[in-house]
Amino acid sequence: MFTSVILAAGMGTRMKSEMPKVIHRVCGKPLAKWVIDASKAAGADAVLTVTGHKSEMVRSVLGGSCEYALQAEQKGTGHAVMQALEFIKAHKGSVVILNGDTPLITADTIDKAIQYHNAQKNYATVITAVLDNAEGYGRIVRGRDGGVLKIVEHKDASEEERKIKEINSGMYVFDSQALSSALERLTPNNAQGEYYLTDTLEIILSDGMKVGAYAISDNDEIRGVNDRVQLSEAEEIMRARINASHMRNGVTMHIPESIYIEADVEIGNDTEIGAAVTIKSGTKIGSGCVIGQGSTLDGAVICDNVEVLSSVIINSEIDGNTKVGPFAYVRPDCKVGKDVKVGDFVELKNSVIGDGTKISHLTYIGDSDVGKNVNFGCGTVTCNYDGKDKYRTAIGDNCFIGCNTNLVSPVKVGSGAYIAAGSTITEDIPENSLAIARERQVNKNGWNDKREK
Ligand code: UD1
Ligand code: CA
């Protein structure tokens, strides 16, 4: 049983952004949301985020994923946690303090820090790391017996203290009562005139309660994001973690360091992913698929044994055993059936394509309802837009659409109908009939001989 308080009121000046730092994204997920999700995965009963700078924007992005407290003016980390006092008092037991700009913290580390905190019967446990370059961080000052005495900020530290390599990650486990009582006694007596959360450790110690440190082994987990370079470094680490977890689940990746897969993507086992593939949040891929080099999938739902070669699929569903590409573009709101072929230079938009249909080359199908086992000749175009409005095209089962056909919508092609190559269809075609809609050919025999004379 524990709760989390996530500090996210700061401005993030070095991002040089109109957007608050904590809603910048790593692998498609806002920085602070990674921290919220890690807390929940570790078993937090409740999570509260302290917002301040552009609070409304932060809250609209993070939505209902946590509770909120407002820190209207940023007067330090201790002051930020004070804004959550009501929440902290309402939940007895442990409260974990985390930062909204450290997305790489894992549920496992949160869990282990809490276990350590409980086993040591601590009232405060600071999560620490040992860094070769500790510049800028608060340093952990320990007594002769090795116990934590206090944390001294870089700006307030003496020459001796600045040599300490054990640093404060800015993450802690507190007993909620010990923390709230200490917060009520914080003062801003330091170099920056801020309320330092770190000063609560000394107050808790002076109350005769035990304080300790939990040292983590993977320093990446405490990496903060302060600028766009660190944002890309954090994303690089997250990307590698995401890819490794898919590979462990049975996904084959070729040149995984070139593959970008966002958070919240599902991929079945025995699916193979080629180089330079991008897969965005919300995409689901079944088993036994091949997602070939250079493809982009965004909000796509791909069933089993589908092949997608060098193609783009956005917010659409592709049923089993279908082949897409190379170089196909499936735009939003398509539902493509089983055993379909969507070949090279084919564009689909807001259309339903029935099972077994073949759209092999150079075709545009928009706003259409296509039946089963239809064969599209090369170069078919649905003319779905008259410059003002869009209309639908309906094509029944088992039709044969000759090459270079224009279907001027709204228009219906009955089941089993054939369309002669080169036709421009403007009227509905009854079932099982042949439509020819082009000029008859005229041959002028010997025409060239006459011209030359
Ligand atoms: C803090 C710690 C330092 C530690 C470091 C780790 C203190 C006094 N110092 O320093 O020991 O090594 O983190 O990164 O706590 N925030 C607010 N409101 C505020 C101030 C900060 O919400 O008024 C938030 C920031 O948005 C950020 C977090 O708290 O997410 C840390 O604040 P920051 O200013 O980066 O703290 P540091 O000075 O780096
Ligand atoms: Ca910081």
Q: What is the pLDDT of residues 49-59, one digit of tens each?
A: 999 999 999 99
Q: What is the pLDDT of residue 432?
A: 98
Distance CA 276, CA 259 (A): 5
Among 53, 154, 254, 361, the one annotated catalytic = 361
CATH 3.90.550.10 residue window(s) in the chain: 2-222
ω before 410 within 30° of 0 (cis)? yes
The yes-or-no verdict on residue 151 having pLDDT over 90 is: yes
3-state helix, strand, coil in the chain (%, to 5): 25, 30, 45
Q: What is the pLDDT of residue 421?
A: 98
Nearest CA to ligand 1 atom 26: 10
> How far separated are the first and last CA of the chain, in Å rounded?
101
Ligand 2 centroid, distance to 102 Cα (angstroms): 9
Confidence of residue 218 (pLDDT cuts 50, 70, 90): very high
- Render pLDDT for 288-329 as a digit per residue (tens, 0 to 9): 999 999 999 999 999 999 999 999 999 999 999 999 999 999
- Render pLDDT for 355-376 as a digit per residue (tens, 0 to 9): 999 999 999 999 999 999 999 9
The encoded tokens of residue 436 equal 């020819």
> Does 54 contact ligand 1 (Cβ within 6 A)?
no
Confidence of residue 387 (pLDDT cuts 50, 70, 90): very high
CATH 2.160.10.10 residue window(s) in the chain: 248-435
How many C-beta atoms lie closer than 10 Å to residue 424's C-beta? 14
Q: What is the pLDDT of residue 191?
A: 86
Spell out the residues 6+ positions from residue 309 whose beta carbon is closer than 8 angstroms to its own. 290, 292, 293, 295, 323, 324, 325, 326, 327
Using alpha carbons only, give the angle 78, 82, 84 rounded to the nearest 5 degrees: 125
Instruction: Summarize the confidence of residues 130-147 as an average pLDDT.
Output: 95
> Does 74 contact ligand 1 (Cβ within 6 A)?
yes
> Does 195 contact ligand 1 (Cβ within 6 A)?
no
Distance CA 405, CA 317 (A): 26
Q: What is the pLDDT of residue 32?
A: 98
The yes-or-no verdict on residue 83 having pLDDT over 90 is: yes
At the top level of CATH, the class of 2-222 is: alpha beta
Instruction: Summarize the confidence of residues 123-134 as an average pLDDT.
Output: 97
The encoded tokens of residue 92 equal 């007895």
Nearest atom, ligand 1, residue 151 CA: 11
Residue-averaged pLDDT of the chain: 97
The yes-or-no verdict on residue 105 having pLDDT over 90 is: yes
Instruction: Summarize the confidence of residues 216-228 as an average pLDDT.
Output: 96
**Burial call 99-129: b when 16+ CB within 10 Å, e when fewer:** bbbbbbbbeebbbbbbebbeeeebbbbbbbb
Note if 361 is an active site residue: yes
Ligand 1 centroid, distance to 76 Cα (angstroms): 7
Nearest to 310 by CA among 322, 294, 298: 294
Confidence of residue 453 (pLDDT cuts 50, 70, 90): confident
- Render pLDDT for 260-287 as a digit per residue (tens, 0 to 9): 999 999 999 999 999 999 999 999 999 9
Percentage of the chain lying above the pLDDT 70 cut: 100
Q: What is the pLDDT of residue 73?
A: 96
Nearest atom, ligand 1, residue 75 CA: 23
The encoded tokens of residue 275 equal 């180089």
Provide the residue type at 182 as one letter. A
Instruction: Summarize the confidence of residues 52-76 as an average pLDDT.
Output: 97
Which ligand does the CA of 82 lie closest to? Answer: 1
Provide DSSP, 200-258: HHHHHHHTT--EEEEE-S-GGGG----SHHHHHHHHHHHHHHHHHHHHHTT-EESSGGG
Phi (first) and psi of residue 4, to 5 degrees: -125, 140
Nearest CA to ligand 1 atom 33: 77
Distance CA 96, CA 229 (A): 28
The yes-or-no verdict on residue 452 having pLDDT over 90 is: no
* DSSP at 283: -
Q: What is the pLDDT of residue 357?
A: 99
The encoded tokens of residue 315 equal 């917010």
Ligand 2 centroid, distance to 7 Cα (angstroms): 11
> What is the SS3 assignment for 294-352?
CCEEECCEECCCCEECCCEEECCEECCCCEECCCCEECCCCEECCCCEEEEEEEEECCE
Ligand 2 centroid, distance to 224 Cα (angstroms): 7
Q: Give Cα 376 distance to the centre of its chain.
A: 36
Distance CA 431, CA 336 (A): 23
Q: Give Cα 387 distance to the centre of its chain.
A: 36
> Does 80 contact ligand 1 (Cβ within 6 A)?
yes
Confidence of residue 172 (pLDDT cuts 50, 70, 90): very high
CATH of domain 248-435: 2.160.10.10
> Does 82 contact ligand 1 (Cβ within 6 A)?
no
